[in-house]
Amino acid sequence: MPQNRVSVREFRANLKAHLEGEAAVVIGDFYTTRAILIPMPKHSTWDTSASKKAQAAARKLFDAAISTMK
């Protein structure tokens, strides 16, 4: 099993932590749950337009991931 595979629970926890401003966002292949870490802006910089767009995109990915895992 490749080292970059994560459980669905870990994937959700990591992405949820990012959306709360605590960690990097996890974007992965939802079918195999392979994931990579991508650095994102720190919480204090989320008031910029570009950061808000990145956060919105991460939220859409999170919603899509959850809907495909149900």
Quick check: 19 and 59 in contact, CB under 8 A?
A: yes
Contact 33, 6 (CB under 8 A): yes
Q: Is the pLDDT of residue 35 over 60?
A: no
Q: pLDDT tier at 33 (50, 70, 90 boundaries)?
A: very low
In three state form, how does the secondary structure of 10-32 look? HHHHHHHHHHCCCCCEEEEECCC
Tell me the domain boundaries of the chain.
Answer: 8-69
Task: Give residue 21's region: left, alpha or beta (phi > 0; psi -120 to 50).
Answer: left
Amino acid letter, 47: D
What pLDDT does residue 30 have?
43
Contact yes or no for 69/9 (Cβ under 8 A): no
